[in-house]
Amino acid sequence: MSRSRRPLPLAPARRRAAGAVLTGALLLPLAACGEGSGDGAAGPDGTRLTVLAAASLTDVFKTAGAAYEKAHPGTELTFSFAGSQELVAQVSQGSPADVLVTADTKSMDRVKADTGTPTVIARNRLVIATGEGNPLKVDDLKDLADTRLKVVLAAPEVPAGKYSKQILDQQGIAVKPVSQEPNVRAVLSKVELGEADAGLVYRTDAESAKDKVDAVEIPDGQNAIARYPAATVKDSENAGAAAAFVAWLSSPEGQEILQDAGFQKP
């Protein structure tokens, strides 16, 4: 089954000079320590794909990965979830990977020399996440300027942080966050744990934790659209299989899984 792991460390070399030897050395531990119910072995044809994906895709890609593996016996997916800026840095430094999926097109553009032509597979929007029951009665964006509230945002270099800054600036709202997190799931976690009163996250993130947080909708006219491009990594040693997975994400089956999780059509 599909599994996730911590982001790969940055490789010192620009490209993978060691080829298959390096790939094998890095990927075998991934299967052994990743989440999931599989035994960590590659499929019958030995195809194992490493997918670097934006943190907001954590839950839906676990579901999608399981469905893909079932429909494609012999292919095993290993996911690495992190902020898009971290994933792009890994690709730039030559860390072994087959597919990259970011939460914005600008991040993907930064590595266009290292990836195939990207395809937008989904869209998303921001909401205000609050504690369960919205105890402090946060109703809209302007409430986040209340200095009595502990507000947490994604860091400015993170796509969710860029979108947050964009919509707050457009409304002329000045927010002083108590922390700026490295990815949107870290923002959600702060609110879930009660370490923050509110935070800006994607609608799908709030949906994934609906038993712990409330989501305050932001009107479309005040919101931003997040687009998720997916692309193969040019140095992939499984180029055909990587392209097949990217194409599957836009297929009816892949789209149904994404939309069931709350993502919007591309």
Residues 6+ apart with CB under 8 A from 101: 51, 52, 53, 54, 57, 61, 121, 228, 229, 230, 231, 249
**How many beta carbons lie within 10 A of that of residue 16, not counting itself?**
19
pTM of the predicted model as reported, rounded to 2 decimal places: 0.82
- The answer to whether 232 and 155 have CB atoms below 8 angstroms apart is no
pLDDT, tens digit (0-9, with 9 covering 90-100), for 86-127: 999 999 999 999 999 999 999 999 999 999 999 999 999 999
Instruction: Assign 45 a pLDDT band (cuts: 50, 70, 90).
Output: low
- Output 200 or 3, whichever has higher pLDDT: 200
Give all domains of the chain, ordered by start, each with its CATH number: 3-122+226-260 (3.40.190.10), 124-225 (3.40.190.10)
